[in-house]
Structures are given as structure tokens and as C-alpha cells.
Amino acid sequence: MGAGPAGLVLAHLLHLKGIDSVVLESQSREYLEHRVRAGVLEQGTADLLDAIGVGDRLRREGLVHEGIELQFEGERHRIDFPSLTGGRRITVYGQQEVVKDLIAARLETERPLLFEVTDVAVGGFESDSPTIRFGHEGEKIELRCDFIAGCDGSHGVCRESIPEGALTVFEREYPFAWLGILAAAPPSNDELIYAYHERGFALHSMRSPTVTRLYLQVRPDEDLDEWPDERIWDELERRLGLEGWTLNNGEITEKGVTGMRSFVVEPMQCGRMFLAGDSAHIVPPTGAKGLNLAVADVRVLAEGLAAWFENGDGSALERYSADVLRRVWRAEHFSWFMTSMLHRLEDGDAFDVKLQLAQLSYVCSSERAAASLAENYVGLEHV
Ligand SMILES: Cc1cc2nc3c(=O)[nH]c(=O)nc-3n(C[C@H](O)[C@H](O)[C@H](O)COP(=O)(O)OP(=O)(O)OC[C@H]3O[C@@H](n4cnc5c(N)ncnc54)[C@H](O)[C@@H]3O)c2cc1C
């Protein structure tokens, strides 16, 4: 269920192992290929996409970054990834581009991928033969499955269909959101800049050599109508500006406010239905982990399903939830750590500010602290 990164990568991994699947998606292909979301791929994510044969354009057009900059008290400090992590890097490549490549690869396999399905209902997953009922092009269809992979994101039907009491929910709301824009302007810096500022956090990122992605910390209930383009550029200039550095402006092509929360359900399974990606966990975007976690989940799930189909061995599937939750909680902690270090707390006081500055200066002056941030950012190989 779901043709986001989790569903599409899982379907492709299963295809490569000779296992049939049907991918059901409620949105249109057009919508998915233009939905702007994440953009930072860990080394392991980029390597996996390459290894499964969908990395050609990613390698051609993706921007390989060897570090990030942290800015506070009017200075920038660089965290160098390769020297701190044994040569690991990140690649900046928009999620919608990853999805485009995966949809093309799926269609090429000629295995089913159905867009714009309606009235989806899952059931029987505590039996040996779960079912999915849905509508497609005016027809009502019932699928009998061996397994269901609930890759249908944070508002999907799979998690919601699990009986009450079977899952434990862990959740945290943050008292801020990000106002994000895409601008037709060349990036003003080669790498991402994470800026801690008394007016709130700001992030300079990019999607390509001609498109900049920029974010401002705002209130969760912020009204976009109060943010005409000039106000956004002024505020970005204030929070990111430094003497001798220019923020490139350009036409704003997309604008949105995204709330920030942490959310995990345990276990990520109910009978023969497995949850993967955002359907089971959400992280605030400060650590750039959402898309990477989704891919890491289905990599483990595909191995478990392959063992079951190839020789009836269900032990890896039984361990699925426990195995992936270790990485999920590591990423939850890292995302919380980055968020808490970099955002101004609305009800914070001078003591909070001093603690944040002490943490920032520790990360930028101690090689061990910097290495800890770097290895989490590029993605831990073993968790
Ligand atoms: C606005 C926004 C901005 C983000 N920005 C960042 C960022 O900057 N950095 C970062 O790391 N992460 C970011 N994320 C998180 C990241 O995009 C997600 O973690 C990632 O998309 C997870 O992939 P997924 O496949 O699990 O879920 P999704 O990408 O959400 O895919 C789930 C799919 O299931 C489909 N679906 C839902 N319900 C049904 C149904 N009933 N039937 C069939 N299909 C269904 C949906 O249409 C969707 O295509 C952002 C998320 C959002 C929402």
C-alpha cells in the first residue's frame, strides 16, 4: 500500500528477488512526481538506489556534499563528513526525483502499479490470507495476499486498521513549524547551512544548481497569508546573513508550512501486515531522516519476505519490528537532538539559550562531538 519511497523501493527489491507484488496508490502519478518533500539522501540510501539499478540520474544530477555548516553567534563552522566518518557523504536529490525514477523502474518491470485507487480497506491480516478491497477505474476489486506492506504514510489506512490496543504510540509535538520555500535561484552556498538565531532557526538547502530550498522556524499555527515574498526574504536575510555573504533571491515557486512532531508505533507489525516508513514513524525534518528511514525499513522487510518465500523461513519476519526499531529510535533521538539544539524555544529563557550555545560550540570544537553528529547525519552503517 502506497507508492512513496517505502512502497516503491520495497516493490523493486521484491521484483529483483522474483517476488510478485501489487502497488496501490491513492494519488495520481503526476501528483507524486511533483510532491516536494525531503532531499537529503544518506550514503547508504544512495548506494542502495544505485545497487538496485535506479541510481543513474541520481549519480548524474544529485549533488554530493561532504559537509554541512552550523551558524551561530555570527560565525559559520563546518562539519566535514569524510574526515569524521571514514569517507562517507550525503547526496542532495529531491524526493520527487527519487519517486520519478522508482515509478519508471516499476513500470518497466510491467508488474502492477495502480494509481488513484479509492475506498481502500485492509482486513484479515491476522489470518493466513489478508485482503485488500479497493476501487479502480470504476471497478470494485478484492485482492487476496500473502502479506500486506503498509507503506501508506502518516495518514494511510493500514496503521488505522490495526485493532485498538495492539500498538503502543510514542509521540512528541514540537512548539514550532517550518515555513519552507523553493526558489528559482542558484544556491548561495555549496553546502547546507543550519543557522541558530535569536529570531529563530533557518536552513539554507538546495535541490539543484538552479533551485534553492530555504526554511524558517515559525509558529505551528502560522498563517502563510502573513508571509508575502518580501517578508520571507527579509527574514531569511536576517537569520542567515553574514558580512560578505549574499543570499541569492529568485522567484518563489512553492511555499508551505509543515508542523514538526516525533511519532513511533510499536510493534511495526500486526499478523501478516507490516508497517514501513511514515506509516509507523515520523521525525522532525531537522535531521533529514524521514526518507532514509523509510528506505532502511523496507530493505530489512524485503530480506525477511525473501527468506519466507524462498525457503519458508519466517524468523527474519518475526524479528522485523525489533530489528528496524533500533534504527528508528536512533534516528528519533538524532532528529530530536538537532531540533532541540537549533530552534528557539518559545517559552525558553536565558538559561536555555546558554545551554544551546554550549552544545553548538561543543559540537564545533570537539572532534569527537563533531564525529558523533557527522556519523548520524550521513547514516550509521550498523545500528
Ligand atoms: C510536507 C513534508 C515535508 C517533508 N520534508 C522533509 C525533509 O525536508 N527532509 C526529510 O528527511 N523528510 C521530510 N519529510 C518526510 C519524508 O518526506 C517522509 O519521511 C517520506 O516521504 C516517507 O516515505 P513513505 O514512503 O514512508 O511515505 P510517503 O512518502 O508519505 O508515501 C506514502 C504513500 O501512500 C499513499 N497513500 C496514503 N493513503 C493511501 C491509501 N489509503 N491507499 C493507497 N495509497 C495511500 C500516499 O499518497 C503516498 O504516496 C517531509 C514530509 C512532508 C509531509
Give the residue numbers annotated as catalytic, written as ranges.
Answer: 65, 194, 285, 289, 377
Atom of ligand 1 nearest to the CA of 256: 1
Ligand 1 binding pocket mutation candidate from 102, 122, 152 (most atoms within 8 A of CB): 152
pLDDT band at 307, cuts 50/70/90?
very high
Strand order in the sheet with 63-65: 40-41, 90-92, 63-65
Q: If you take atom 49 of ligand 1, which residue's CA is the nearest one?
A: 4
User: What sign does the CA torsion over 352, 281, 208, 236 have?
Assistant: negative
For ligand 1, the distance from its centroid to the CA atom of residue 91, given in whole angstroms, is: 19
Q: How far is the CA of 278 from the centre of ligand 1 (A)?
A: 6
- Say if ligand 1 is within 6 A of residue 25 CB: yes
Interval 47-65 mean pLDDT: 97
> Which residues partner with 87 through β-bridges?
none
Q: Please name which of 323, 27, 1 lies closest in space to residue 161, comparing C-alpha atoms.
A: 1
For residue 165, which amino acid is it? Answer: G
- Compute the distance from residue 90 Cα to the ligand 1 centre, in Å: 20
- Evaluate whether 289 touches 268 at the Cβ level (below 8 Å): no
The CA-atom distances, in angstroms, between 203 and each of 196, 221, 300 are 9, 20, 32
Q: What is the per-residue pLDDT for 122?
A: 98
Q: Which atom of ligand 1 is nearest to the CA of 289?
A: 11
Contact yes or no for 36/97 (Cβ under 8 A) = no
Percent of the chain topping pLDDT 70: 100
Cα 100 to ligand 1 centroid, rounded to whole Å: 14
214 close to ligand 1 (CB < 6 Angstrom) = no
Tell me the CB-side half-sphere exposure of residue 380, using CA atoms within 13 A. Answer: 15
Decide if 297 contacts 277 (C-beta within 8 A).
Answer: yes
End-to-end CA distance of the chain: 27
pLDDT in tens, 207-226: 999 999 999 999 999 999 99
C-beta of 84 in contact with ligand 1 (< 6 A): no
**Residue 338, CB half-sphere, CA atoms under 13 Å: how many?**
27
Ligand 1 pocket mutation, candidates 23, 36, 37, 334, criterion most atoms within 8 A of CB: 37
- Ligand 1 center–CA 4 separation, angstroms: 6
Q: Is the dihedral of CA 337, 341, 344, 346 positive or negative?
A: positive
Decide whether any atom of ligand 1 lies within 6 Å of the 38 Cβ.
yes
| pTM of the predicted model as reported, rounded to 2 decimal places | 0.96
Q: Report CA Rg, the chain.
A: 21
For residue 88, name the pLDDT band (cuts at 50, 70, 90).
very high
The residue whose CB lies within 8 Å of the most ligand 1 atoms, and thus the one to mutate among 30, 291, 377, is 291
What are the angstrom distances between the C-alpha of 149 and each of 87, 279, 281, 347?
Answer: 34, 10, 14, 41
Position 383 confidence tier, pLDDT thresholds 50, 70, 90:
confident
99, 155, 42, 6 alpha-carbon torsion, rounded to 10°: -50
Q: Is residue 288 in contact with ligand 1, taking CB distance under 6 Å?
A: yes
Burial readout 197-209 (b: 16 or more C-beta within 10 A, e: otherwise): beebbbbbbbbbe
Determine the atom of ligand 1 nearest the C-alpha atom of 95. 17
Side chain identity at 273, as an amino acid letter? M
Q: Tell me the backbone φ, ψ of residue 174, rounded to 5 degrees.
A: -105, 145
CA of 380 to the centre of ligand 1 (A): 22
Q: Given this model, what pLDDT does residue 220 score?
A: 93
Phi, psi torsion values for 22, nearest 5 degrees: -120, 125
Nearest protein Cα to ligand 1, atom 3: 37
Ligand 1 atom at shortest distance from the alpha carbon of 293: 19
Looking only at the bridges linking them, the beta strands covering 90-92 and 40-41 are antiparallel
Cβ neighbourhood burial of 129 (10 Å; 0-12, 13-18, 19+):
exposed
State phi, psi for 148 to the nearest 5 degrees.
-120, 130
The candidate with the shortest Cα–Cα distance to 89, out of 54, 44, 55, 48, is: 44
Q: What pLDDT score was predicted for residue 347?
A: 85
pLDDT at 346 over 90: no
87 C-alpha to ligand 1 centroid (Å): 30
Is 24's C-beta closer than 6 angstroms to any atom of ligand 1? yes
pLDDT digits (tens, 9 = 90+) for 257-302: 999 999 999 999 999 999 999 999 999 999 999 999 999 999 999 9
Contact (Cβ atoms closer than 8 angstroms) between residue 288 and residue 40? yes
